[in-house]
Structure 1
Amino acid sequence: MTTVTAPVTPRERVTRLAAAHITALQRGYLTDQSHAVAALARLRRGAGRPAGQLPDLWPLIDTGPLHDTPHGARPLTEREMTRAEDALHTALTLYALHQQSRRTGMYQSDRPDRRRGLGTAVRRMMKPGEIDEPVHKRLVRAGTAPDLPVLAQRLRDIVVLLRREDIPLDHALLAGQLYTWQWPGGADTVRREWGRSFHAWHGKPADTDTAGSDSNSTTDTDKDAS
């Protein structure tokens, strides 16, 4: 029997590329490698801002793999490429802001046994069994953003809160969602995903961070003084 493998979608390509970039940056940052520390400091300046405003960041977000064509796939169109680049810029700069002065990795992949989507991350800022309306309203406002620049600004506000609480997020998953968001009907799809993610976590004791036992540390480090 011949197994037919579905071609990799543009969203999947964005998600995978974001994961590769963020994993490398996080590994370098947590081991205090100077190039990674400097890269995150530069990327933070782009959080909440459109990709085209800071050409200085272009070398830090390598979109070269998007120009390659995986087996069985087709080349990305110009519109797909632009939206993929914008999604990557937004996700990577938000990750850089999230990771600032944290001693454990703020990027963690979403899994069925360990939810790390945006909705779950927001839900974890609330007490079990309770809905914190001001916090919930931030997610709602993000979900009703009219375009990607406004969405990026509203997500920046959420990420600042997540960093304060040492709550991780799957930024690669977010990158794929930001790509989908930009297409007709895409915002509805992403809002549904965030809603499911919000209800997927119920404060279960088994759902704990695995990045390290000192995940509650809030001590700023010299490497983030810039």
Structure 2
Amino acid sequence: MTDLVTRLAQEHLSRWQRGYLNDEAKAVGALARLRRGAGRPAGQLPDLWDLLDTQGLHEARRDGRPLSETELARAEDALHTAVTLWALHQQSRGTGMHQPHRPEHPRGLGAAVHRLMPPNDIDDSLRKRLVRAGNAPDLTTLAQRLRDIVTLLRREDVHLDYALLAGQLYQWQWPGGADRVRIAWGRSFHAWQDHRASGPQQDNPAPGDLSSDLPDATDKDTL
């Protein structure tokens, strides 16, 4: 199911980003409407309901059974959050801010945050923003904290894989999912560090313990 959410997000993002960069009126208008939803719950703006075609979510699962209401709702929320954050990021930018992740060009959230930092240094205030996002208690709070990060990425023209993010936001909403997503963001953060140190041919680093970068939610510095 996570793969389906990622694929649908990629389809939407590719179409809208291509249209926006080609100055197509429909895509420009859609982006203006979408960015108003950044950091806000999916059902709060009825004006956006017709923009996200979620028909693909009604495809049968691999086991043949239809998606449950919970699966549908969480998938729709993940798509809404990722696409509206992209719209905020893309505003007034002449190149596509959504770029697919590749080992030689890490585009995950952690890597994007690390790219904002000075070479060979860790900006603790930026790191704490990532930590606070990772420790968000619910999707609405997470979307709001991600909005703050995306505003910084937009200012510095740092790219992000929003289709990957959509899949992670879907995973986030399930039991144990937040922990897995935090680990993925931590790996991404270290992948960019490794990429800068070793050059573009270096593969992503091996998974490790990320607790030093994403501390427990009880850490006072994350509040």
**Same fold by TM-score, threshold 0.5 exceeded?**
yes
Residue in structure 2 matching 1:166, options 115, 138, 157: 157
Distance 1:182 1:120 in 2: 22
2:24 paired with 1:30 = no
Local SS of the residue matching 1:60: coil
The correspondence of residues 108-127 of structure 1 with structure 2, limited to 5 A, is 108-127=99-118
Pick from 71, 83, 88: which aligns with 1:97?
A: 88
Which amino acid in structure 2 is aligned with residue 68 of structure 1?
Answer: E
**Alignment-mate amino acid for residue 104 of structure 2:** D
Residue 188 to residue 48, structure 1, CA distance change in 2 (3 Å): same
| CA displacement at 1:198 relative to structure 2 | 0.2
TM-score w.r.t. length of structure 1: 0.85
Partner of 1:77 in structure 2? 68
Structure 1 unmatched runs, 5+ = 1-9, 208-226
SS at match of 1:200: helix
* Mapped contact 2:60–2:66 kept (Cα < 8 A): yes
18, 42, 47: which one aligns with 1:51 = 42
- TM-score by structure 2 length? 0.86
Deviation at 1:72, TM superposition (A): 5.4
Counterpart mapping for 1:1-226 below 5 A = 10-69=1-60, 73-202=64-193, 203=196
Superposition deviation, residue 69 in structure 1: 2.1
Q: 1:172 to 1:73 in 2, by over 3 A?
A: farther
Aligned residues: 198
CA–CA distance in structure 2, aligned partners of residues 76 and 18 of structure 1 = 18
Query: What secondary structure is seen at the aligned counterpart in 2 of 1:174?
Result: helix
